[in-house]
Structure 1
Amino acid sequence: MLSRTLLCLAVTSASMPLLADTVWLKNGDKLSGKITVFDGGKLLIQTDYAGAIPIDWKQVKTLESDQQLLVKQDAYTGEKAKALHAAEDGKVTLANGDAPKTVELASIQQILKPKPVVEDLVWKGNIDAALDYQRAEKDTDDYDIDFKTSARHGRWRHTAEGEYNREFQDDVVSADNWRLEYSLDRFLTDKWFWQGRLNYKRDKVEDLARQRVVGTGPGYQFWDDELGAFSLGSLLNRTDYEYRDGGKDNFYSVAMKWDYNRYLIGKRVEFFTNGEVGKPLSGVAEYAYDAEMGLRYKVTDWASLNLKAEKDVIEGTEDSDLSKTRYTAGFGVTW
């Protein structure tokens, strides 16, 4: 009896079709796998034989999928399709029960997997950690952890990031600082947005003990897709400095921010750089510069190794100039 049951299960499993999405290309090729996302003119399909493959949307003839997908024909609203069916060249059919709908591929701006509660929420981020132990003439212990996460829903984008660094040399604290930042972007068009930003830095070793920044200004999103993103923003900031000796400076400044990342080698390697350069409108300092650059290598879908270089400069103050450069190597988590 048991052998019959196992035989029936085996026959049933063999007769069931494999759930796979298919993309037909204009050159006659056909790719099978799982569609993960379409954004920024690139359709990403996950395959067993070549990993994640980005496809130029202009080269797609039609496609089909057994997944439930959110198909957006404009930047802010979308239609949930129970499945996608192949149609004539340049079109696809959205299966929605008794009312299937055939649309032009050129009219589709985004394809996402629906999220619970907020269907078009796109959430991504990373956490990186680095540890450095040196035993030599001077013993050094260095701990560094930082995170960055962003969530976009419709016209709104929330971004939060932070960093903590602590270093000992021969059991004496030589660095002890942390930073938190939150920004809220409101997209006015597909590319232009307005940003509000809060930033706080605390340093228990340097003469400049606290920095508080509140800023607002316009920005431009050049692109944001599965292969990377690039944006520039200009800000008018209100900045407060507090020094270890109790002194304070308050001033306004103008600043330029950038945020760039690019995936390479089939999304296994990520190059990234972000930062800000600012100019005070008073004579408290000549300029301020805070930036990082690095590489991440994905070991698995969620685990990564990273190399980073960070530079923090405040130049032109009376007696509290700051110039710090840090190089770190560590591991992290991405999603």
Structure 2
Amino acid sequence: MLSRTLLLLSASFAAIPAFADTVWLTNGDRVSGQIRFFDGAKLLIQTEFGGSIPIAWNKVATLESDQELLIKEDAVVGERAKSLRRGPSGKVILVNGEAPRAIELASIQQIMKPKPVIEDFTWRGNIDAGLDYERSESDTDDYDIDLKTKARHGNWRHNATAGYHRELTNDLVTTDNWDGEYALDRFIDEHWFWQGRLEYKRDKVEELERQRNYGTGPGYQFWDDELGAFSVAGLLSRTAYDYTNGEHDNFYALSAKWDYNRYLLGKAIEFFTNGEIGKPLGNVGDFSLDAEIGLRYKVTDWASLNLKAERELVNGNEGEIDDSRYTLGFGVGW
């Protein structure tokens, strides 16, 4: 009898869900899991049985949570609630150690978990691949692979990107280039950081065959949360151009970088854009531009379809690059 009782108790404890949040729906159903965020249209909740589930906000009657959440009733001001308690239909109760207060669900614009200023360790990234084979009067093979990853530990953030693009038309190589970049950010406070960066580009077709760049400068992180991130940086760089005719350019340049992404429809779609625009200091060229913009549609928690447009424009004394690419492909993220 004792063994049977212990077995039943063990089974009961094992059956207790690891998530403590509950969402009650207007039709009387309820969903248990971990609330990830709410962006004005969809409430995303992570469940054990169905993964991440987006719920239309107008179908939510009330909710409760034991985790600390940031509740925004307008676009700027947010309140950190130590926990949420179930309220009457159409309301939720915020608990902050003072007198709990009930607010209307209709007044809430965002819900998300507050991000600490100093993070222990986070690592995220994605790999996108695009392949295109066309067989007609002109046979075309197009390959495009891009890697982007970030890791943060304490006040330090590591950023790395790499890409490879090759195109053949009737077995003639018309595009063949690759690039890599590493940047290290040291955060001074929640928003300001200082960046150091190394970059290398190699092109086997264009007149400008090699670009080397290293620079440093301040940056500002506008936000970085469950709904996306946006940062800019201004850099003073030392740049070297190598041309196929043996000529070289070495010069200083000023540049501005941006990195923006935003999740939509309960993280089902991601809009992103990043790039850099630079101005040489000296009689070397007019300017340089390297930018991309695109969308990712999540098929699963880790797989996505992506649509991207990329533009690289460089004007040097002995040659130039003017390259536009449009790709549709498959990617994985973590």
TM-score by length of 1: 0.74
| Whole-Å separation in 1 of the counterparts to 2:53 and 2:32 | 11
| Residue identity matched to 1:327 | Y
Alignment deviations for residues 79-134 of structure 1 (CA, whole Å, 9 cap, x no partner): xxxxx988995238xxxxxxxxxxxxxxx94379xxxxx98211110000111101
Letter of the 1:158 counterpart: H
Alignment correspondent of 2:294: 294
Deviations 1:250-299 (A, max 9, x none): 00000000000011111011110000000001111000000001111110
Secondary structure in 2 matching 1:64 = coil
Worse-superposed segment, 46-55 or 320-329:
46-55
Contact 2:23 2:64 in 1 (8 A): yes
1:202-251 C-alpha deviation (Å, 9 max, x unpaired): 00110001000001000100001111100111000100000111110000
Mapped to 1, the partners of 2:250 and 2:115 lie a distance apart of 45
Change (3 A) 1:301 1:49: closer
Residue 266 of structure 1 pairs with residue 271 of structure 2: no
Give the residue type in structure 2 aligned to 1:312: E
- Structure-2 separation of matches of 1:320 and 1:162: 24
Matched, 1:251 2:256: no
When residues 197 and 242 of structure 1 are mapped into structure 2, their CA distance, relative to the original with a 3 A threshold, is same
Tell me what 2:75 maps to: none
Q: Which letter maps to 1:51?
A: I
TM-score (ref. length: structure 2): 0.74
Change (3 A) 1:271 1:10: same
Q: Is the 8 A contact 2:155 2:188 kept in 1?
A: yes
Distance in 2, matches of 1:219 and 1:305, equals 31
Of the candidates 40, 56, 66, which is equivalent to residue 64 of structure 1?
A: 66
Unmatched 5+ residue regions in structure 1? 70-83, 93-107, 113-117
- The answer on 1:90 being equivalent to 2:95 is yes
Instruction: Give, as a single letter, the amino acid of the residue that structure 1 aligns with 2:326.
Output: Y
Match of 1:276 in 2: 276
- Tell me which amino acid in the other structure corresponds to 2:280: P
**Structure 1 SS opposite 2:65:** strand
* DSSP 3-state at the match of 1:301: coil
Alpha carbons of structure 1 residues 86 and 231: separation in structure 2 relative to 1, 3 Å: closer
Q: Contact (CA 8 Å) 2:44, 2:53: kept in 1 or not? A: no
Q: Secondary structure at the match of 1:266?
A: coil
Q: Aligned partners of 2:163, 2:55: CA distance in 1, in Å?
A: 33
Q: For 2:119 and 2:255, how far apart are their aligned partners in 1?
A: 35
Distance 1:10 1:281, change over 3 A: same
Distance across 2 between alignment mates of 1:147 and 1:210? 20
Kindly tell me the number of residue pairs found equivalent between the two proteins. Answer: 281
Identity %: 55
Over the residues paired in the alignment, what is the CA RMSD in angstroms? 3.5
Inter-partner Cα distance in structure 2 for 1:247 and 1:220: 37
